[in-house]
Structure formats: structure tokens, C-alpha cells
Structure 1
Amino acid sequence: MREARMNMVQTVEQYRFVHDVLLEALGSRGTFYTSAEFEKTIGSGLTYTRYEEAEMSRQYQSLKAMQQDVDDDAVSAAQLPENRSKNRNQDIVPANNVRPYLSTPVPGHNDYINAVVLPSATRAQGIMATQTPVTPTVVDFWRLVYEHDCFTIVCLEDDKRLYPMMDQVLEMGPFRVTHSTEDTTRDIFSIVQITVTLNEEIDSSRLITVYKLKSRIPGSTEAMLEFVNEIDTKGTSEEHKTLVHCPDGARLCGVFCSILNIISKLRLDKEVDIYLTIRELQCIRPQFIQSYDQYKFCYDMVKEYHRASSVYANM
């Protein structure tokens, strides 16, 4: 190619990108299925064949091989002295080009929060993932919710400092967070409606829906599918973002965000590519899907989706 066009691929970054594209293409061979093909090939049973186990392991190892150390320059904001204490884990921090910026003035706080902007199944920036805030950054959490139109929050670890109890009002910087209603009738998760108001300004109130998961991840596929279906069909919106949080913003967020996008794609387009769905998210948050068990759980969820669909079809 260079014999015909000498200036093609001019930098190390461009060469690395071409290399990554090739690895991704090789790693993703045979990972795409239509819904019908997946059910015919892998099925909806509770077990896998030896070949299927080996193929899932190959895919997971391929994803691990493509993970690269992030350059210090790429995460320079997270490593600033005033921001380091805001990170629960110094190895899980956002790159500058994928982090949301905060702008609501709060004395002693800048534009940084340990969060990343992620694609959903339908929008290039439909999801945000963040760590459950440390005490000094609770106000930054609500700045993120308010400024970036996060009308749905997915709480994968409850935190009593973060959400008001019944008839309670939390004052955090310029925000008032008020408990409105709570639905605790489900065994797997609860739904809390809260109101966030900025400086008691007129028309500044936002009604936020918080989905609090009670079961563990990975855990029951049936429970997780009920949780994901509820959020996918009622909690997501083309106009607003969905904010997901867990202790480090990666271990549990990675599993949930991957499954949400996988199930959404199945429902909308009747197709699934678990490998590339996770790869897309790992390009933004490399610490997503930290074990083979988590990767396999994503396959388990597709099987559960087909099992549930078959049950409803036969009713």
C-alpha cells in the first residue's frame, strides 16, 4: 500500500489501530448470530457442550489480549492531585475523551467525576457508568445526574448516604434530593422515585427513577432478566441517559451494561454478538467483564431470554 501512497499510516497510534482492527476481526469470527441461529446452534438449555465452552473461553481470552494499558496522558485529569482522592481505585479511571464534564458551580469542586459515557443499543451516548461516590464526591454524583439528564439510575449497590429515606430530604451542595415514592413489591429489585431540585429555582425539579437491585451479579439469570427487561422497556429513553453505578464503576457495571445492550439488541433487531458488544464497551472502560464467569453469564442471559420468550409464546 505504501508503494502507491507513501503517507498512509503515519503514526504509531494509527498502526496500533490497524493492528487492533485485525485482532478484533479475527477474534469476532463466528460470534454473530440472529436470534433464531443462536437458539438453533447453542440452544436455551442450562448446559454447554465442550466445544461451546472452549469457544467462549477463546472469545474471552481474545478480549483480554486486546486490552491495553492506558497512557498517563490519556487519563491526566483523573491523575491530578486534586482528583486522585475522588477515585476509589486508581487503576479504574476514565480517559479524558470519554469522561463527562461537570459545570454546576460548587465551592471546592471542579469538572471531574470518575464516570464514562457509553453507547446503548440505540444511542451513541445513551448510558453513563460511574463508581458509587466516596463521601466528598456525593454532590458530584448529583451534579452528574442533573446536568447530563440522567432520569433513570440503576443502583447495583445501595448506599444510605446517597438516597433519601421515606419522608427524608438530603441537602447536598446546591441540590435538594427528596424521596417521593417507593415500590418494594418485587423480590429482586425496588423502584424509588426521587425529586432533585437545584437551588429551589422555579421549574428546576427533576423526577428521577432509581432501580435498586437486590440480587447479586452474576446470579440468577431469571432474576437478572426481569431486572433488565424492566429497565429496557420502561426506564430507558431516547431523550435521557441511564446512569449505572457500582462500587468501582466497573465490576458490576460492566456485567449489567453488557447484558442491557445485548438484550436490547435482541429485542429490537433479533440479533446478538456478545463478543463485539462487550468489546465496544471495553474500548471505553477496559475493566468491564473481569472474568470468564462474567463473560459466560452474558451467554447464559441470552439463553434465558430465549427460554422466557418460548414460555410466553406457548401461553
Structure 2
Amino acid sequence: MDIGMMRLIVGPPSFFQNFTEYTVDIIPTTSRIATPHHRIVVLQLHGWSYTQSVPEQPDTLLAVLEKAESLLTANHYMLFTCKDGVTGCGVAAALLLARERIKLIQEVDVYRSVLSVLFDRPQFIICVEQYNFLHTAMEKFITVNKHYGNFARITT
């Protein structure tokens, strides 16, 4: 579809267990200079109704965040949107921060991640259920990612 001096090409959806991936390419149609085209990737989560404060399973959000991180490069950005504009985004942002913290400094600190997002916008985390979900999601993340060895359970 052409819109002004741009052509929009909507790619076919790719279906995954926890999300669906959609792509939109934006290509300039009239340009004297070689301008790059832009690709927008939309990841739509499954299993998190707008009536729920958290997803049914932490795997859902962990999978979409992993995919989103794999798409990032130096000049690409990530944008979260959700039904009410804040709470789903806050849970995702806090989980993303907690995951980055464990990757960078091998420290699990859900509380500090929640404080960071609440500092930016107090409506990001609105209930204890969301806070508990973040703990469960980080436990799942550590269990699945065995390379964080200092978090392995000690068995006797």
C-alpha cells in the first residue's frame, strides 16, 4: 500500500507458542538519496487478558522479552504498549530490568527493579500479585538459564 512517498508492506504473521510476530516494512518510493527502509516488528502476547493483572504463566512474558531482545541492535528501539497504557508495560519493564541485572551483575533484585519503574511512573506496578509474579518469573528464568551457576540450588 502506498501512502504519500512511502510504501507499506505488511508481512505474514509468524505464530509462536506464546506470541505472534507481525512485520511492517516502510520503504520510501521517491528518493534521490539512497535511504534505508524501516522495519517495525510487533510482538503480540498470548495468554494475558486485559482483565488480568499478570499473565497466566511467566513463560509467556519471558518468551516475548527474549524475542524482543533478539531484535534489538544499536539503532533499534523497543516500545511496550498495553490496554490501559501502564500496568502491562510496567510488569514487562520491571521484568526486563530484573533480567538485565542478573545478566550484568549476577544479582537478583526484583524489589530494586520495581522501584526503578515506579520512580518513572507510579502506576506501572499496582498490586502485590504483579510483584509476586515478577519473583516467580525470575525464578523461572534462573531455572531455565543454567549458566547462572551461582544461583544453583545446593543439594546434599
Task: State the TM-score, normalizing by the size of structure 2.
Answer: 0.76
Secondary structure (helix, strand or coil) at the match of 1:271 reads: coil
| 2:51 counterpart residue number | none
CA radius of gyration, larger in: 1
Matched, 1:177 2:13: no
Q: Aligned pair 1:220/2:57, yes or no?
A: yes
Residues 221 and 301, structure 1, Cα contact 8 Å, conserved in 2: yes
- Distance of 2:7 and 2:120 partners within structure 1: 32
Q: Alignment partner of 2:41: what SS?
A: strand
Question: Given residue 93 of structure 2, which amino acid in structure 1 is its aligned partner?
Answer: C
Deviation at residue 291 of structure 1 after TM alignment: 0.8
Q: 2:72 corresponds to which residue?
A: 236
1:71-91 Cα shifts (integer Å, max 9, x gaps): xxxxxxxxxxxxxxxxxxxxx
User: SS at the partner of 1:207?
Assistant: strand
The counterpart of 2:22, out of the listed 192, 206, 214, is 192
Whole-Å Cα distance in 2 between the matches of residues 170 and 269 of structure 1? 47
Pair 1:270-2:106 in alignment:
yes
Unpaired stretches in structure 2, ≥5 consecutive residues: 49-53, 150-156
Q: Where do 5+ consecutive residues of structure 1 fail to align? A: 1-168
Counterpart-to-counterpart distance in 2, 1:215 and 1:183:
17
Matched residue type, 2:58: T
| Residue 209 (structure 1) aligned with residue 41 (structure 2) | yes
Q: How far apart in 2 are the matches of 1:170 and 1:304?
A: 45
Query: How far apart, in 2, do the equivalents of 1:291 and 1:304 lie?
Result: 20
What SS class does the counterpart of residue 246 from structure 1 fall into?
coil
Alignment of 1:1-315 (within 5 A): 169=1, 171=3, 176-184=7-15, 186-197=16-27, 200-202=29-31, 203=35, 205-216=37-48, 217-232=54-69, 234-310=70-146
Say which SS state the counterpart of residue 55 (structure 2) adopts: coil
Are the counterparts in 2 of residues 180 and 192 from structure 1 also a CA contact under 8 Å? Answer: yes
Kindly tell me: are residues 249 and 269 of structure 1, through their superposed partners in 2, closer, same or farther at Cα, counting changes over 3 Å? same
Amino acid at match of 1:206: H
1:56-111 CA-to-partner distances (Å, cap 9, x unmatched) read xxxxxxxxxxxxxxxxxxxxxxxxxxxxxxxxxxxxxxxxxxxxxxxxxxxxxxxx
> What is the CA–CA distance in structure 2 between the aligned matches of 1:268 and 1:210, rounded to whole Å?
27
- Tell me if structure 2 keeps the 8 A contact 1:218–1:294: no
Q: Is the 8 A contact 1:262 1:277 kept in 2?
A: yes
- Please give the alpha-carbon distance, in whole angstroms, between the structure 1 residues aligned to 2:77 and 2:128: 29
Classify 1:265/1:174 alpha carbon distance in 2 versus 1 (closer, same or farther; 3 Å). Answer: farther
Q: Which fold has the larger relative contact order, with Cα–Cα distance below 8 Å and residues 6 or more apart in sequence? A: 1
Residues in 1 aligned to 2:7 and 2:123: alpha-carbon distance in whole angstroms: 33
CA–CA separation in structure 2 for the residues paired with 1:176 and 1:287: 38
User: Could you tell me which residue of structure 2 aligns to residue 37 of structure 1?
Assistant: none
